[in-house]
Amino acid sequence: MKLSSCAAIVGMVLAVTVSPVHALMAGQAPDTPALRVDAIGPVSPWRATVSVVVGTAAYSGVVIAPRYVLTAAHVVGGASPQDVRAVLNLAPGSQTSIAAESIVRFSSASFPYDDLAVIRLQSPVPAEVLIHPVREAPLQTGQEVTLVGHGASGNGDVGVSVTGSSSVRRVGRNVIDAIRDTTDDSGRTSAFFLFDFDGPSGNGFLGAGTLGNAVETGAAGGDSGSPVFADIDGATWLVGLTTFVASTAQGVPVDYRFGTLGGGMVLSHPRFLEWLRTVTGNTLVTTPVDTVDTDVPLPPWSLGALAAALAAALMHTRHASGTGGRRS
């Protein structure tokens, strides 16, 4: 099918099939959901991605300030703070759970429009949580992004086969194919990004080529509220929040296979930025941080290597000094 008007077709598709988003999908075999699992631990760059547990149901969210987690408004719905908690995975086999103190939903949130909510935690997250800044510059089409979430998974040619878990974080990549301000003819507007889940080869529904079977990721139970990151100007930024998926055929249920569309909220939208600053008491992180963890202990084998390197450098310096050599 040739797309003569991508925006018009996307608007038509989303108008009839938008659904809350649930999982991060892998490609077809030999790629597997297990290969998309993030190495949980203090050195993971994605440790600010958390599981938002509402009652007994687990979704996703992201830390945007020491006491604040951003997620989708439809995730928390009408839940009371006492029924919500953020679960952080900072070390293998170990979880940190922090209860919600309060929840603020965007005033005009109505799925899929303005689908944002901020959870204030009863205590700050641990210091080792790396909080990536929210990017204030507009998100551009063609931008390659990283999707991170706690939802279910499966292969793109089969569908969902693995349930989500608050202790399993998955990572994959995609490309922003479109930026839209509406998804239907309701007259409402917001700030949406869109991407498609391309197969191992060829172009997807929205026209862009695949990133490859082992890289391309689609959104699919539990990833509602999952963050979207982009590497721009030497820093990793939080640029969006995944909130929905859509089928490309009218009347066909979303099956999370290759061809499924995904999308969510563009956080650089002025209304969203102003709200995030206000809700977080101006503690929203918007400045790049150093991603090198200077407080992470070196493995035992590296201490010997470091000592040997320092000794060699010292001997070289002494030799250069004794023979009239020049030190830089």
Question: What does the pLDDT look like over 234-264, one tens digit per residue?
Answer: 999 999 999 998 877 777 777 777 777 889 9
What is the pLDDT, as a whole number, of residue 237?
A: 98
3-state secondary structure of 7: helix
List of residues 6+ apart from 106 with CB closer than 8 A: 73, 114, 115, 116, 117, 272, 275
For residues 260 and 218, the answer to whether their CB atoms sit within 8 Å is yes
What is the pLDDT, as a whole number, of residue 20?
A: 62
What is the pLDDT, as a whole number, of residue 23?
A: 54
Dist. CA 18–CA 112, nearest whole Å: 8
pTM of the model: 0.81
Dist. CA 17–CA 179, nearest whole Å: 18
Give the pair of three-digit tokens for residue 218.
Answer: 């689609």
Dist. CA 133–CA 153, nearest whole Å: 27
Q: Which residues of the chain have pLDDT under 50?
A: 1-16, 22, 291-328
| CATH class, range 6-279 | mainly beta
What is the pLDDT, as a whole number, of residue 234?
A: 94
- The β-bridge partners of 62 are 49, 70
What is the pLDDT, as a whole number, of residue 156?
A: 66
